[in-house]
Structure 1
C-alpha cells in the first residue's frame, strides 16, 4: 500500500494520498485546494490513478481540493451521511466500506468536531488481513489534543463535546498499533495543544493524550469548551465554498 502525507504549514493542514499501486487505484483524504497539482503529480509518478476522494467532514479552516480533483480525475467523492453538501457524492454510513484494490477503507462515525464527521480506518490485504493498519482521524482525535467542538454548531458546543467524547471511545477501541494520521498538527486553530509531530499511534495517544484521560463526559465537555481559540478567518465563506463544491465569491 502506498501512503504519502502532504503537510501544508499554512493552516497546519495534513492530507494524504494512499491506496493500492498493484491495482493502480489511489485516493486522497481531506485534500487542500493548494495541493491538487501535487497529489496528481505524486499519483502519476506511481503510474496510478486517483479514483476516490474522501472528506472526513466539511472543512471550516481551508478550501477543499475535492472539486478540482473530481473534475480533473473523474474520482468519486465520499463524505459522511448528512454532511449537507450540494454536489454529487456517495454518502457513507457508519461502517461503510470502499475497496481500492488491496486497500480497504472503512468509515467510522466520529461526530463531535462536526455533527457529520468520519474517521477512516485503512487495511492492506497484502499484509494478510482486513485488520486496520492506520486510521485517518480528521479533526476528531489529534496528536496530544482533540478537535474543538464549536465550529459547526450554533450554541451547543458542550453537546457536541459530549458526542466527541463517545466518538473518541470508538477510536480507542482500535488496537494500539494502529497508526494515527489526523488532518491537523501544531499551529492549527482546530485544537489548542496540538503536537508539532503530525503523526502518532492509538496506543501512544491512549497513554499520553491528557484529554483521553478524562472519562466523565460532562467533565470532558467542560474542559473542551474552556478557553477556545479564535475561529478560523473567513470561516463562513470557507464553509459555503466547501458545501457548494465550487468556488464562490467572497462576501
Structure 2
C-alpha cells in the first residue's frame, strides 16, 4: 500500500496517488498529470480510478486529461450544480478495491459544495477501522472548508458542513487526514503550516471543530469573510464541462523587442520577474506579478480571453509562469521576452521605474500629510483588522483594485503598501497601467512600520 502526495506550489493544492497492488487511484488531480503516471508506474501500479472530492473553483481539474491518458474511470459526487459529462456519479457507500487489502469508501460530505465527497481508506488485512481519509475541502489541518459559495443558502450549507464534519470524525481518531489544500490556499484562512495530522489531533486542536454547538458553528461560518477571485467562475465552468486539453509544455516562444511591442498593443504584458526588478526598470504598461505570485494574483488581474506576453528573466522562469497560468485555465500565452532591461533600453524604447520609499519617509509623510497624497494599503480586510492600519491609510485589497479604481482620484499621488512590499508592487503596476502618473511603493511596508524604532532589528 502506498500514498504519495503531489503539491502544486502557489495554489497550495494537494493531490494524491494511492495504491494497493497493481491498481492505483488519483484523488483530485491537477491538469499537468505526468507526475501521477510516474508515481503509479514507480510503484508497479496502473491508474484505474480518478476521484474528485468536489467541484473545484481555484484550479483546473486534471481528471478529464488523466482519464484520456490512462483510460481510468472518473468518479464525482452526487448533487453537482451541473452535469459532469466526463465522470460517473459515486454516491455514499461506493467502494473501490485497489487490491492488497486496500479499499476506498465514499462518504457524502456536503457543505463546501453540494457535491463534496470524502474518501475513507481501509487496510482490510490489518483491521476494520479507517487508516486515513481524503477530505477534499471539507476538513483542513487547522481549519474547515469555506461555505460562502451559495449566498442564498448560507445557513443551510454551513449546517451541512457541521454534519459532514461529524461524519468524518466518526471514522475515528486514528485516521490520518489528507486534505486537498494546505496553508496559503484561498479555500481556507486558518490552516496550519504543516501537511500532516490525524482526526484525533484535529478534534482536540482545530478551532472550528471545537465549536460543538451546531447553531454556533453556523453563526461562525456565516460571519466569515473570504476573497472571491473573478476567475473562480471560469474554473467552475471549465470543471463542469471538463477541460481535456493537456497542459502546455515548456517555455513559450521567444519574442524580440519588436515582436513584444507589436503583441503588447493587444495583449497583456505580464512581468514575472522579482518585484525589485520591476521597480527598478520595466516596460510601460506591464503588470508586475512575480512568478511565485502568479497562482494567487493572475486570476484577479487577467480575463480568460486575454492574450498574454510574458516578460521573464529566462526560459525557465517563463516556463514556470506558463505552467502556473495553465493550472488556472489561462492558455493564451503568445510568447515571452527574455528581459535584461539594459538590452531592452538599448533598442531606444522607453522604460519606466517606480519610486520606492522607506519607513522614515512614510513616517514623515504620515506626520505631515501633503494635501494631494494617499497612503494606499492593499492588504486583505483580515490582515488590516488584525495588525491595524497606518494612520490615515486607505485600504483596498490588491485583488479588488482593478474593480475599484473609481474610488481613487487620478490627480493624487500614491504610496502603496502591503505586508512587505511584494503585493504593493503588484498594485502599483495596476495603477500605473491604468494611467495613474505618480505611484510609489513603501518597501518593507507593514513589517517595517511595526518595527520602526526597534534598535534590535
Task: Tell me the TM-score normalised to structure 2 length.
Answer: 0.52
Q: Paired residue for 1:205?
A: 202
The 3-state SS of whatever aligns with 2:152 is coil
1:56 Cα deviation from its structure 2 partner? 0.5
Task: Give the distance between the partners of 2:9 and 2:191, measured in 1 at CA.
Answer: 14
Q: 1:124 touches 1:132 (CA, 8 Å); kept in 2?
A: yes
* 1:85-135, Cα deviation, whole Å (9 max, x unpaired): 332322111122111112111111111000111100011223x23421100
Q: 1:189 touches 1:232 (CA, 8 Å); kept in 2?
A: no
1:156 Cα deviation from its structure 2 partner? 1.9
Q: 2:55 touches 2:239 (CA, 8 Å); kept in 1?
A: yes
1:94 and 2:148 correspond: no
**What are structure 1's unaligned runs of at least 5 residues?**
none
Tell me: CA distance 1:141–1:86, structure 2 relative to 1, closer, same or farther (3 Å).
Answer: closer
Q: Paired residue for 1:32?
A: 30
Task: Give the distance between the partners of 1:88 and 1:188, measured in 2 at CA.
Answer: 26
1:222 Cα deviation from its structure 2 partner? 1.4
Q: Paired residue for 2:105?
A: 106
Tell me: CA distance 1:105–1:232, structure 2 relative to 1, closer, same or farther (3 Å).
Answer: farther
Structure 1 stretch displaced more, 211-220 or 11-20: 211-220
The structure with the largest helix share of the pair is 2
Structure scoring higher RCO (CA < 8 A, sep ≥ 6) equals: 1
* Map 1:188-199 → 2, pairs under 5 A: 188-199=185-196
1:59 Cα deviation from its structure 2 partner? 0.5
Q: 2:60 touches 2:238 (CA, 8 Å); kept in 1?
A: yes
Task: Give the distance between the partners of 1:246 and 1:7, measured in 2 at CA.
Answer: 20
Task: Give the distance between the partners of 1:223 and 1:12, measured in 2 at CA.
Answer: 24
Q: Give 1:250's match in structure 2, choosing from 290, 301, 304.
A: 304
Q: 1:85 touches 1:242 (CA, 8 Å); kept in 2?
A: no
Q: Paired residue for 1:237?
A: 234
Task: Give the distance between the partners of 1:233 and 1:104, measured in 2 at CA.
Answer: 39
Task: Give the distance between the partners of 1:136 and 1:106, measured in 2 at CA.
Answer: 10
Tell me: CA distance 1:240–1:247, structure 2 relative to 1, closer, same or farther (3 Å).
Answer: farther
The structure with the largest strand share of the pair is 1
1:247 Cα deviation from its structure 2 partner? 5.4
Q: Paired residue for 1:173?
A: 170
The 3-state SS of whatever aligns with 1:228 is coil
1:6 and 2:6 correspond: yes
How many residues in Structure 1 have an aligned counterpart in Structure 2?
246
Tell me: CA distance 1:242–1:65, structure 2 relative to 1, closer, same or farther (3 Å).
Answer: same
Task: Give the distance between the partners of 1:130 and 1:216, measured in 2 at CA.
Answer: 30
**What are structure 2's unaligned runs of at least 5 residues?**
246-302, 306-457
The 3-state SS of whatever aligns with 1:108 is strand
The 3-state SS of whatever aligns with 1:235 is helix
1:233 Cα deviation from its structure 2 partner? 4.6
Task: Give the distance between the partners of 1:192 and 1:52, measured in 2 at CA.
Answer: 31
Structure with max Cα Rg:
2
